[in-house]
Structure 1
Amino acid sequence: MDKNATRYSVQLYIYDLSRGMARSLSPIMLGKQLDGIWHTAIVVYGDEFFFGGVGISSCSPGGTMLGPPDTVVELGETEVSEEIFMDYLSSLGESTYRGDRYRLFEHNCNTFTNEVAQFLTGRPIPSYITDLPSEVLSTPFGQILRPILDSIHIAPPGGNVINGARNN
């Protein structure tokens, strides 16, 4: 490793979209305890990056309508330059992470942050976040709700879309 390379801190911002309701309602509705309905974003180079129904977006950290995150996880550091990272995001936004590719269960904000975290740091995001969809779908109620939930596209207002608004 180059001792002179600039290193950038990489953080995972975790938001509970249910604002605590999942914790109290999940045992009744699903028959199992869920601690939250997680939305995640990567914070690096002074910006917050996330994926939703409009594609890849960015904002100042904590700058969406969700406000400050419920939890911040330090993922480590990266030597990837901001320029290389933006090129990487651009290519993701034109292919894998276009807005029309968003799927609440299979291909969502957490899929995106997991991939980006591994690109930047070589480490995934916590498994309790990536395992949430299968936890919900493993319940009878989750199976009943799936057609409705599949039609939901989450895109927190307040971000700037990175090249993703055009659906090629």
Structure 2
Amino acid sequence: MEQTSAAFSVQLYIYDLSRGMARQLSPIMLGKQLDGIWHTSIVVYGEEFFFGGVGISSCPPGGTMLGPPDNVVELGSTEVNEEIFMDYLSSLGETAYRGERYRLFEHNCNTFSNEVAQFLTGHKIPSYITDLPSEVLSTPFGQVLRPILDSIHIAPPGGNVINGPQNNS
């Protein structure tokens, strides 16, 4: 008997890590307006998935220390089932999205969300999020801050690591 495929809703959760400070301070510090410092995650199959300094993690939607998202964008739906998606995440977690590969500007939570969104729905996440690093680095202050910012690894507490470091005791 052939099983009919189900469609699963896919959402992008957007968090402003600066909690509004970027909007206030960016014109002074960078000479341009930034609306936020964005952390994103993908919500599908009743779980929130994100990438940070420990690798790919998941939690109940809104379940990290960041609390509820500042914005939710409906990305569409997917017919990819959860088992295939988890296999896909496992392979990403073993290769491109291992924790030590995290880079604040080039390879971060938003890079991950964009790739996963395209895998699930064929759509990219909004460009104002993916363009943020180059906007910051295009300013003199961004260039000065780059060595400091490059050393920052963001990993919101409260998630379960998927294919991260196993048994580090």
Alignment TM-score, normalising by the size of structure 1: 0.96
Name the aligned partner's letter for residue 135 of structure 2. Answer: E
Output aligned runs, 1:1-168, within 5 Å: 4-166=4-166
Cα distance in 2 for partners of 1:129, 1:3 equals 38
How many residue pairs match? The answer is: 165
Cα distance in 2 for partners of 1:96, 1:32 equals 32
Give 1:4 deviation, angstroms.
Answer: 3.0
Once the two structures are aligned, what percentage of the paired residues are identical?
86
Cα distance in 2 for partners of 1:89, 1:142 equals 32
Question: Aligned with 2:85: secondary structure?
Answer: helix
Name the aligned partner's letter for residue 87 of structure 1. Answer: D
In the alignment, structure 2 segments of 5+ residues that lack a partner are: none
Question: Aligned with 2:100: secondary structure?
Answer: helix
Name the aligned partner's letter for residue 163 of structure 1. Answer: N
Cα distance in 1 for partners of 2:61, 2:132 equals 24
Name the aligned partner's letter for residue 27 of structure 2. Answer: P
Greater mean deviation of Cα atoms: 26-35 or 2-11: 2-11
Give 1:95 deviation, angstroms.
Answer: 0.3
Give 1:164 deviation, angstroms.
Answer: 1.6
**RMSD value, Cα:** 1.2
Give 1:163 deviation, angstroms.
Answer: 1.1
Cα distance in 1 for partners of 2:119, 2:50 equals 15
Change (3 A) 1:148 1:79: same
Question: Aligned with 1:83: secondary structure?
Answer: helix
Question: Aligned with 1:67: secondary structure?
Answer: coil
Cα distance in 1 for partners of 2:107, 2:69 equals 21
Question: Aligned with 1:165: secondary structure?
Answer: coil
Cα distance in 2 for partners of 1:165, 1:125 equals 28
Name the aligned partner's letter for residue 75 of structure 1. Answer: L
Cα distance in 2 for partners of 1:14, 1:165 equals 26
Name the aligned partner's letter for residue 94 of structure 2. Answer: E
Cα distance in 1 for partners of 2:134, 2:110 equals 13
Question: Aligned with 2:74: secondary structure?
Answer: strand
Alignment TM-score, normalising by the size of structure 2: 0.96
Name the aligned partner's letter for residue 119 of structure 2. Answer: F
Cα distance in 2 for partners of 1:165, 1:8 equals 29
The C-alpha deviation readout for 1:111-143, integer Å capped at 9, x for no partner, is: 000000000000000000000000000000000
In the alignment, structure 1 segments of 5+ residues that lack a partner are: none
